[in-house]
Every structure is written in structure tokens, then in C-alpha cells.
Amino acid sequence: MMATMKKILKRLIYGYVVFVFLAFHAAAFAYGYSWLSSLSKPLNVMALDFSYKLDNRFSGAGGAMRAALFSTGLLQDPTPFLRENLSFDLPRWRGTGANALRRDTAPRYGLRGDPIALDDDNRFGLTPRAVTTKTVKVGSAAELAQALAQARAGQEIVLAPGVYHLAPGTKLDTAAGGDAKSPIVLRGETVSGTVLEFGADAQIRINHSHWVMSDLILRGACVVGKPPCGVPLVVSAGASALTLRNLFASGFDLLVQGQPGDRNSLIDGSTLVGGALTDSPAWRQALNKEISKAETGQKLVVVCPEKGPPPTCGQTNLYRALQAVGAGGVVLLQTGVYNQAVAITEADVTLIAEPGAHLQGKFTDGKGALVLKANRAVIDGLECSQIRVGSGNGACVRQDRGDFILRGVHFHHNQMAVLTGQLGGTVLIEDSYFHHSGNFKWGALGHNVYVNSGDFTFRRSWTIRAGLEGHELKSRAKVTRIEDSLLATVDAVDSRTIDLPNAGELIIENSVIHEGPRSANWDVIGYGLEVKGESKYEVNRVTMRNNTIVSDAFNAVNVLNARNTDDVTFADNVVVGKVKDQRRGNTYYDDRAAAGLPAYPQLVPLHGVGTGQ
């Protein structure tokens, strides 16, 4: 009997101890979680933060932790609101020449009634944008002729995507004019898909004032190899305050003939391949691009994507076109999708694309869509996407050697957008846009732009949302210059926004740099972090002036984590968000609201802080 009582008593004591132990820990856990929540740092956010710190010490460990906690459902991912969102307006495009990336080609006039150019930054003393009172939709050449004949002030004639063929000898005349508040607008619904094809001596004649013509591709539809088709646009002396904007033309010696009735008419953001834009000095010009007939000579081949090329097209195969033009030649890609890839093996080749010309899904040499094997290649206006290779380094442009220039290109949703080799060269990227690079699996990096050597300039361009812990811009060049550009994480799980692991000279001016809350690194910019011993470069210096740096990270970040540098100049910058490394001579704000910036995830405008726009 006594033995039985002892067993019961032991069980009661044991049960009591277990109950107290569990109750204490449950209470402690509840209190701790409540305390963490009161700090606006719930457990899942703390886990996310810890995983990122783990990645900094042990590569890949944080990613495995995130996969275990969030992918298996043990904890809810704290950032579901950070889904891809690039639907909001991008900053105003500042590029040269006609381009599908332009978002704002609406007419705007100054107080004297003169047209305002796309590159005008003056926000003061301007009348509001001109508005249209009626939209006339056009779907055929016959409807276009009727719309021009019946147009009145305030009307907007919008051409649906398609090819509008104006038969040889056709003359379409305007029948009325507008005014600064109510111009008459003739535009394409989208520049990348709306084409006016002019037969021999076909013309649109602008006889009245305050006409705006924008967002169109104009082609001379004469037989390939024959003389050009004549002048497509003719202006009478009585017409004034005219705007020709975001037009891409080819097949003409001259785009517009005639002297307008004032010196305020404007040709703006337009391109002509194989000729000159105008024969009159009365026109003002801004952001235009001309590839003259002297530059193309007999070395111009026009490529189109369709089988059975129309008269405006000489070839459907990009490889054969490059073989035909040889060194110093010009290849023009008409709008459309090209499932092709090619190596450029001749020097001084220019590949220029109409808005909407798109290389997609194909690669060569196991490397990329365009593999550069010769010096001084120029790629202009091209879109490229979905380039993926087995090595994980598939790029739209893959440089083996030589200097090259990218202008007005749009590379997106590739493993990498641009990847260069080890043989040096001068790399210039202007007026271009890169986003959504990534290898689409954990452990593989997806840099938007990766330059491995040479001298690199990144100017008036955007690189946004590198994927899977890649960088928006990574450079091992001797000199890296970033000017008037936007480099932004948005919602990507990237790493540093900018990384220069080998040191060298870094110059960043007049740019916007953003790091988002999902970035896997607490450095916005890394410099010299892989140098062992002495840097291989003679100059190892950082200069950052007049930039806006924005961090939406959960924790305080290092704006510039620089090692192995001889000198750092960091001055006249505006820094928004929680940062560890504050430096004198700069302006700091705790968050976007304090700086007058739009709420996350809106991209920060290039004209900087305090706009509220």
C-alpha cells in the first residue's frame, strides 16, 4: 500500500513540474511574441532579417532558412505586398531618338505658344498640357485620309497598330489648324506597332499651324536598291508651332521639306536612317538622331521578321544581313519578333532597330543573343528578352572582345542583360533600360549589367529589379562612371544595388539609387570587398555627388561599404531611410514621407527629393 502511494505521489509531482514548465514557457513565448509585435517586428520579420544576416556570413544558408520557414508554411512570408509592380509610371525617358520606351509625348506649349521639347526640365512658366476634345480612331489608309481632311482644333487622330500603305503619288492634306491650347494631334496608338508606308512620291502635307505628329514609324516603300521614295512630310510656309516627335523613319533622303512660318516649330526625339531630318534651319531640334546616307552608303541591309519580305525589306535572316554588310555596315531591323541569335564578327557594325524590333529566346555559342567578337559594335534601339543558357549566364549582349556601345536598348527577363569578358575595351551604355534579370532558381545570380574589365560608362539609363541575389550593376572595370541614371531594387530579392568587387575608380553623379526591403544585403553599394592584398588598379577612388539614395530596408543599411580605397568623396547627396554610415556634407531623411517622396514601391523621380510626385 505504501509503495503504491509513493508511485502516485511521484506521478503527481512529475505532472505538476511538467505542467509548470510548459505553462511558464508558453507564457514566456506569448509575452516575447507580444513584445516583438509591439516593436513592429513580428517573428516572421525577425526571421527574415536573421536569414539575410546569415547569408552575409554563410553564403546560401539564409536562403535555405527562408525556404524552410516560408516555402513550407511554418511561417508566413512577411512581404507578400511586395509583389512585382512596374505598372506605375516610370520616370520620364530622356533618351535620344525615337523609342518605344517613351511614356510622355503629349504636346505641351510655353507661354508664347511655342512647343516644349521632351528634354525640357523647366517646370515653371509652362501652360498645362494641351488637351484634346475628341479622339478619332483610324484603322486604314482611307480612314486616315478622311480624318486629316475633317480634322478640327482639339482633335486627336489615333492610328491603331498596323501598316498603313500610302499608294505612289498619294497627297494627304490638312484642312484646318489648331492652337496652343487645342492643337491637332496625329499619333500612333503605340510607336512600336504603327507604320506609315509611303509609296513613291506619296506625301502628307501640313498646311496649317499647331499640328503635332508623334509615335509613328515612317518607311519609304520603294523597291530595295532603287533611289529613295521622295520626301514624306511637306510643310507650307504658313504653318507654324508644329511638332514632329518620336518618329522613326527610313528609306528617305529627307524626312520633312519646307520652312515653317516661325522659328518655334520643333523636331523632337526622332530618328532617320539614311538621310537628314530637314533642309530648313528654321526648325528647332532636340534629342534627335540621324544616321546619314554617307554613313550607310551601300552598306545598309533592312531586315524584317516575315517570310516573303515586302519591298521595304531586303532580308529576313540577321546572320545573312551581317554577312552582306560586312565591316562598317548598317543593319536595320524592322519592328517585329525575331527568334534569332548571331555573332558579330566584323568591326564597326551598327545594328539599329525600329521601335518594337525584338530578339527573343534564342542564343548562339552557348552565350547570348548577340555575341560581340569584333571591335566598335553599336546596338541601337533593340528590345531583347528570354535569353537562357545552360551555364546560367545567358545574356542579350555577350562581349568576347572589343569596344561597344548600347543606345536606347530594352533588355528584360533574361539570365543577364549584359555580360562582358576579360579582354578589356570601352563600354558605353546610354539611354537604355534593363530589368528582371535572373536565373530563376536559388543559388544562381542574375545581374542586370556585369562588366568584367575595361572602361565602363552607364549614362541616362535605368537598371531595375535584378533577380535572385544578383546586382543591378556589377563592374570590375578599371573605371566605372554612372551618370544621370536610375538604379533600383523595387521589390526584388537582389543583393547590393551596385557592386565593384575589384575596386578601381567609381564615379556616381546625378543619379537615383534604391535598395528595397527584400534585398539580401545590407550594403547599398559595395566597393573593393573582394580585393586580397593590393588592388591591381593604380587608381582606387570613389566619388559620389548630387545623388539621391533611398533605402526601404527593414534595418539600417550601409550606403557605401568601401574597402581598399585611397580616397572617398561623398558629398551633396540626399539619403533617405535608416543608414549606419552618415557622412558630413549630405542631407539625411528618416523615411520617404519626411523627404517628400512618393510611398514605396513607387520609383523615385530622377529630379530628386521634395517633389511629392
C-alpha to C-alpha distances, 71 to 64, 193, 353, nearest whole angstrom: 10, 41, 42
Model confidence pLDDT, tens digit, residues 438-493: 765 544 568 899 999 999 999 999 999 887 778 899 999 999 999 999 999 887 87
Model confidence pLDDT, tens digit, residues 206-249: 999 999 999 999 999 875 545 567 899 999 988 999 999 999 99
CA angle 368, 370, 374 (to 5 degrees): 120
Query: pLDDT confidence of 64, banded at 50, 70, 90?
Result: confident
User: In terms of C-beta density within 10 A (0-12 exposed, 13-18 middle, 19 or more buried), how is residue 532 classed?
Assistant: exposed
Q: What percent of the chain has a predicted confidence (pLDDT) above 90?
A: 53
CA angle 319, 99, 322 (to 5 degrees): 10
Give the integer Cα–Cα distance in Å for 214 and 192.
12
Instruction: Supply the Cα-derived Rg of the chain in whole angstroms.
Output: 29
Q: Where are the domains of the chain?
A: 2-82, 134-287, 431-595
What is the model's pLDDT at position 14? 72
Give the integer Cα–Cα distance in Å for 48 and 529.
24
Contact of 373 with 400, CB cutoff 8 Å: yes
What is the model's pLDDT at position 571? 96
Query: CA nearest 405: which of 383, 368, 377, 384?
Result: 377
Give the integer Cα–Cα distance in Å for 252 and 293.
9
What is the model's pLDDT at position 491? 79
CA atoms within 13 A on the CB side of 428: 11
Model confidence pLDDT, tens digit, residues 501-560: 999 999 999 999 999 887 878 899 999 998 888 888 999 999 999 999 999 987 789 999
**Can you spell out the DSSP letters for 432-444?**
-EEE----SSTT-
**What would the grid cell of residue 379 be?**
546596338
Mean of pLDDT values over 135-164: 94
DSSP state of 34: H
Give the integer Cα–Cα distance in Å for 241 and 264.
6
Give the integer Cα–Cα distance in Å for 456 and 157.
43
pLDDT of 44 above 70: no
User: In terms of C-beta density within 10 A (0-12 exposed, 13-18 middle, 19 or more buried), how is residue 54 classed?
Assistant: middle
What is the model's pLDDT at position 295? 74
**Can you spell out the DSSP letters for 296-341?**
HTT-EEEE-SSSS--TT-SBS-HHHHHHHH-TT-EEEEPSEEE---
Full-model pTM: 0.84
CA atoms within 13 A on the CB side of 482: 32
- 16 Cβ partners below 8 Å, 6+ apart? none
- Of 174-188, 283-297, 301-315, 592-606, which gets the smallest average pLDDT? 301-315
Q: Compute how many other C-beta atoms are within 10 angstroms of the C-beta atom of residue 473.
A: 28
What is the model's pLDDT at position 37? 42
DSSP state of 82: G
pLDDT of 77 above 80: no
Q: Compute how many other C-beta atoms are within 10 angstroms of the C-beta atom of residue 154.
A: 17
Model confidence pLDDT, tens digit, residues 567-611: 999 999 999 999 998 999 999 999 999 999 988 888 887 765 543
557 vs 56, higher pLDDT: 557
Mean of pLDDT values over 188-196: 93
What is the model's pLDDT at position 114? 84
